Structure 1
Amino acid sequence: MIAIGAIFFVFALILLGVLALGYYPKAEQDEPVTQLIDAPLLSRQPAFKVLSYNVQFMAGKDYTFWFDVPEANGPDSQPSAEAVQKTIADVANIIIDEDADFVFLQEVDDGAKRTGKKDQLNALLALLPATYAYHTSAFYWKSGFVPHPRILGRTGMKLSILSKHPITSAKRHQLALTPDNVLVKHLGIKRAVLEARVPLQEGSELVLLNTHLEAFSKNSDTLQKQVDHVRSMLQTLNDQNLPWVIGGDFNLLPPNQYQTLPPREQFYYRPTSELEDLTRQFSSVPSIEDVEKDPANWYSFYSNDPDVTQPDRTLDYLFYSPLLTCQSKTVRQHDTINISDHFPIIASFGLEAYTDQPTLELGEKNVS
């Protein structure tokens, strides 16, 4: 009996030690903003451009990771250092070519064992023009040690926003967690929204939001809770008469796309997507009309599962304030297919119509 008690005590100590290495952010917390050089204030004219890109920890497309298949037994656990270096250069080339004012990145590794414990954002910034003068980040996976057999080490993954214009403040908003066991809940991914405030030359400010919603919650209401949280944040900004753009990997299918996926890939999703809760109230890129008219043109995901042989779904979006007008929009597919399992989504928005008048009522959209 004493031996059993001693074993239990040792196990409890080990468990507590592992949990102590976890990341426990507040519901809302300020995040540091880095300024590299002086930069001009954003003006209401001309239009500004946003690029959102899930860069899949700069791994490239030559791997099938263990989590890329429904059985969670893909052959690969980490990319090579050479693959990461090449992918960072490829991502930099896309950003340079698009020349966006603001860049939203998801799945940027920092300190993770799987990518050599490097800060991928710093490596990327070294290849970009100095005009990306401001940046801010928020971790959504961070642990000193994860005892999963395909990880067995440190994790670090963050959301990042790069800006050609001053950022005055940044904040991390915690989203709902999955109802998993204690180890997964505390050492696993903790989805979040990264908010950045950009002052306007003529007064007021533009609010930028970057997110990556839950990917593995089909059998729980976690994704619905996260969507509800995002929806509430956006409505609050509308109530404050502030222009905003939110972008990222929402892991949500547009209407009728579930039925077009092979049964194996339907494993990750629900037949009816929570996306409707956002598109019903807010304008989006792509819009539901865009996807219905030409679905392939708006595919933003190409699974690493070897059974999937071409891009076949839309998971990445930009939503924007009724105070903005969308002037151009695209998913860049033609030369990004070997960079990540996601494609960058890009849009330009006009602020020239923004005034300090009350915003549209709940449910109204500025469709363009």
Structure 2
Amino acid sequence: MLKLLLLLVVVVVAAAVAFVVTLQVTEFNPPAVEGLVVSHAPTTNIDPVELESGVSIKIMTWNLGYASLSETEDFVMDGGVKGRMDSLEEVEANIAGITDTLIDTAADIYFLQEVDEGSDRSYQTMQYTTYADLLSRPTVFGINYRCLFVPFPFDLKQMMGKVESGIATFSKFSDIETAQRIQLPGAFSWPLRLANLKRCITVVRTPIVGSDHFLVLINVHLSAYDDGTMRVQEMAALRDVMADEYDAGNFVVVGGDFNQSFPDAVTEVDGESSYHFPLKDPSYWEAFAMDGAWFSENGWQYGIDMTTPTCRLLNRPLDLVDDANNQYYLIDGFIVSPNITIESVETLDLGFHHSDHNPVVMTIHF
């Protein structure tokens, strides 16, 4: 009996070691800077146009929650228990709702985050391909999460499994000059990093008719579950890119999920942050205040809507009866360079039906 027990222990340990070694060998290690291929749909429903100054441009940013974090869901990292939806049909229903919103919004440019492509956690749905076919315009896709098997949560029915996910930018402006994926600094310690995201930004440069300068579109999805240190490093790297582009005379739009509260949505009182959507329990995930000093000193502008939350906490399904039980945040939106005029910003209140985030729509001109 003792020999069998020892044999079992040896087998379990050997399997665990083999699994970790496999994750190590297959770990996603992207280069610091990588050129991205601009994909074009085989058929198109729009006429690609050249980018001209003086014309209003409508831009949407939306974290889609890999079409799996709708109003019925919780998430283990937010204090819930789940790692995936219960069925493919539920994911497909969310994809259908998302596609309806994308079409109805009729934006010129889309910044999308948490877009899966064949991930187990979203039942192998090809979400990026679906949205690319739907929007039928030039697009780039920056992978920020690639793992052979994510062994979390520690429940076989909820484990995420294989993950392939990223951030996608779609633009109706046909003449994209360059597109890059830029790796952001900071990483979780080993072995956590083996099955974790590799945060990045994507940078798309589009020439402006009659000008030597570019409209620069920067899609971001920053860290969430660190102690705030990684977000500080990521923001510093992001600011460097923004400053370089603006100093070159370009027009810069940064959009996405910052996983931080925008400065205009935070009041500092006696060294404590008071949020526009108050933190209802100190144990809840906190969207730390973004350091806005550099932006305000240099004339950068926030494209946010203070009237509607952009994200909810996934510690529980959305409480449709008592809203006091729901925790909200304002962490999605835009930061634009001083040479751009913001015409309007609106957060679309979709009731978190198909994602744990609401989309933000901004109209600009330059």
* TM exceeding 0.5: yes
1:328 aligns with 2:344: yes
Structure 1 range deviating more: 322-331 or 80-89: 80-89
2:280 to 254, 257, 262: 262
Equivalent residue, structure 2, for 1:366: none
How many positions carry a matched residue from both structures?
331
Identity rate, percent: 22
Structure 1 range deviating more: 97-106 or 275-284: 275-284
The answer (yes or no) to whether the contact 2:85–2:91 under 8 Å persists in 1 is no
C-alpha change, 1:323 and 1:57, in structure 2 (3 Å) is same
TM-score between the two structures when normalised by the length of structure 1: 0.82
One-letter amino acid of the structure 1 residue matched with residue 344 of structure 2:
S
2:63 to 54, 57, 60: 54
Instruction: State how 1:1-368 maps to structure 2 within 5 Å.
Output: 13-36=18-41, 37=44, 39-59=48-68, 60-69=70-79, 73-128=80-135, 130=136, 133-148=137-152, 149=154, 150-151=158-159, 153-166=161-174, 167-180=176-189, 182-203=190-211, 204-218=213-227, 220-253=228-261, 254-256=265-267, 257-258=274-275, 260-264=278-282, 266-270=284-288, 272-281=289-298, 282-286=300-304, 291=306, 297-306=307-316, 309-310=325-326, 312-333=328-349, 335-351=350-366
SS at match of 2:328: coil
The answer (yes or no) to whether the contact 1:79–1:114 under 8 Å persists in 2 is no
Structure 1 residue runs of 5 or longer lacking an equivalent are 292-296, 352-368
C-alpha change, 1:14 and 1:332, in structure 2 (3 Å) is closer
Q: State the alpha-carbon separation in 2 of the partners of residues 84 and 277 from structure 1.
A: 40
C-alpha change, 1:237 and 1:304, in structure 2 (3 Å) is same
SS at match of 1:263: coil
SS at match of 1:16: helix
Q: Output one character per residue of 1:143-191: Cα deviation in whole Å (capped at 9) or x when no partner.
A: 11223335362111100001111223211111123332x1221320111
Query: What's the offset of the Cα at 1:332?
Result: 0.8
TM-score between the two structures when normalised by the length of structure 2: 0.82
SS at match of 2:66: helix
Q: State the alpha-carbon separation in 2 of the partners of residues 75 and 7 from structure 1.
A: 25
Q: State the alpha-carbon separation in 1 of the partners of residues 92 and 160 from structure 2.
A: 23
The answer (yes or no) to whether the contact 2:40–2:138 under 8 Å persists in 1 is yes
One-letter amino acid of the structure 2 residue matched with residue 62 of structure 1:
T
SS at match of 2:254: strand
SS at match of 1:64: coil
SS at match of 1:343: coil
The answer (yes or no) to whether the contact 1:112–1:156 under 8 Å persists in 2 is yes
Q: Output one character per residue of 1:325-354: Cα deviation in whole Å (capped at 9) or x when no partner.
A: 011111111x35312111111111112xxx
Query: What's the offset of the Cα at 1:269?
Result: 3.9
C-alpha change, 1:7 and 1:350, in structure 2 (3 Å) is closer
Structure 2 residue runs of 5 or longer lacking an equivalent are 1-6, 268-273
One-letter amino acid of the structure 2 residue matched with residue 61 of structure 1:
E
